[in-house]
Amino acid sequence: MAIGPLNRLLGHVLRHQPAACHSYDAPPGSAALRRSIARRGGDAGYDVSADDIVITSGAKEAVYLSIGAVTKAGDTVAIESPAYYALLEVLSSLGLRALEIASHPRHGINLDDLARALESQPVAAVALVSNFSNPTGSCMTDAAKRRLVGLLEAADVPLVEDDVYGDLVYEGRRPSAIKAFDSRGLVLYCSSYSKTLSPGLRVGWAIPGRYQNEVELLKLVVNQATAVAPQLALAAFLDSGGCDRHIRKVRAMYGDQMASMIDAVERHFPASTRLTRPQGGHVLWVQLPAGVDAMDLYDDADRSGIRIAPGPMFSPSHGYRNFIRLNTGFPWSETTERQMTTLGRLVAERVGSGGV
């Protein structure tokens, strides 16, 4: 992460703008940061002004506020399945019902299934990760994103888009946001620099479209404002050009780490193991051999000091019993190699014993 440059900029802000740093900055947040974020929107294919952006305390708060702005307790929200467990926590906390829509491990949510759901039952909103989804690493094509927006417009249903991983493409052009195809303000776009710069900054943002007033009001109610000093430090870093250089390095690093993890799974796990091959992000979705229970494996792995995320965490119906998610966001090391050797042995033992 970009700790050194950000620390220097944060120190500069605290020394030279103390009045700003010790006062509330009511929604929508720092004008300087909103201008910086707006200028970079073209990378993801959307064109907005600083006035369209609401600064939040991380992407998760942006998602929480956005879903809260378009739903009420008891409503149904359609989600990709499997889905990021933090999204499931948000839905549960708001008293919402999750409708699982099957998702392809490479291409994302099944739009035919979603279309049928929108036609057959009341759906208050759709929520998903558009690029390099957590846990599968799937990335929707531009054609799919355009079709999705068309389905939403026909049904007049808003979409909460979490695009926190979009900058982490390993090679080539950054994938477009779904927001790039939105002309009616139905897409509430959420993101942050937590995955690329520093999670500790707790600075994210939403572009809520037609729901901006509702999101700003909820932001004011939930926590008044996002801390000013990190906003100003981040704005300075974005404008300096240092962010672009840093993200190029992070992309290459994450790509190498993903390749190392895939190689380790292929070497140490049974041959019947299947896995995704994401082109960005830092999560790997692994289908274990039939009969291997992810929750049982989780307990044994934890006793060996190995942290994995079992598949049922990513489904409100607790499906994916023989899937696990591996985090590739940490530098590869001898310790990681030993852990993967152990994890592969634990899986193989369960195959050998009939999955018991």
Question: Residue 207 belongs to a domain with what CATH number?
Answer: 3.40.640.10
8 A C-beta contact, residue 284 and residue 275:
yes
Tell me, yes or no, whether 186 and 264 share the same domain. Answer: no
Provide CB contacts within 8 A for 85, sequence distance 6+: 309, 313, 314
Residue 115, both tokens: 């279309």
Residue that is last in its domain, among 240, 261, 280: 240
CB 39 within 8 A of CB 171: no
Structural domain count of the chain: 2
Helix (H, G, I), strand (E, B) or coil at 169: strand
Q: Please give the Cα distance from 66 to 63 (Å, whole number).
A: 5
Which pLDDT value is given to residue 205? 96
Assess whether 170 and 42 both reside in one domain: yes
Last residue of a domain, one of 178, 209, 240: 240
With 0-12 / 13-18 / 19 or more C-beta atoms within 10 angstroms meaning exposed / middle / buried, residue 182 is buried
Tokens, residue 149:
């927006």
Q: Are 216 and 343 contained in the same domain?
A: no
pLDDT for 75: 98
Within this chain, do residues 235 and 250 fall inside the same structural domain, yes or no?
no
Among residues 208, 240, 272, the one where a domain terminates is: 240
- Which are the contacts of 233, defined by CB distance < 8 A and separation ≥ 6? 6, 9, 10, 12, 13, 201
Same domain (yes/no): 161, 28: yes
The boundaries of the domain holding residue 62 are 3-240
CATH number (domain holding residue 315):
3.90.1150.10
Q: 170 with 293, same domain?
A: no
List, for the chain, all residue ranges whose pLDDT scores fall below the cut of 70: 1-24, 352-356
268 with 121, same domain: the answer is: no
Tell me the three state secondary structure of residue 67: helix
Output the pLDDT for position 10: 53
